[in-house]
Amino acid sequence: MAKIHVANEVAKGYLETTVSLEELQNIKRYAPKALQVFEEKEEVFRVMPGTKGSISAAGICFAEETADKKAKVVFEMPEAGMKAEDINAYIMDKYNEAILNLRKVETQIAAATETVAAMKKDIADNIKIG
């Protein structure tokens, strides 16, 4: 499940997902719909790996990784030294929809990862050389 970290003294935070950038690239290549949320056949949210991180109600682009190789996106807080309740209120107001949709995508990624691994194994098992 997505985690939010805030460094209050420097007015920055980051949203961390459960997978690496490499895993996101793999899912993007082999099962891209797992990175999307649809409502009535219309795409309303998308997660993707990229070179510049961003987060909005329409999607998240992960461009960095944590020390343990989880994809993350960095965001700015309005000011340093905020009270905990103000931090929580700000994050809920600004990123609530994106976080809820990211949780849906993380569930889809877990299922797609298994499917992609099985597909790759099946293809590899059927490659004959020589």
Radius of gyration for the alpha carbons in the chain, expressed in angstroms and rounded: 17
**Is the pLDDT at 92 greater than 90, yes or no?**
yes
CB atoms within 10 A of CB 49: 20
Does residue 48 contact residue 109 with C-beta atoms inside 8 Å?
A: no
Alpha carbon distance 97, 102 (integer Å): 9
**Is the pLDDT at 1 greater than 90, yes or no?**
no
pLDDT, tens digit (0-9, with 9 covering 90-100), for 51-74: 999 999 999 999 999 999 999 999
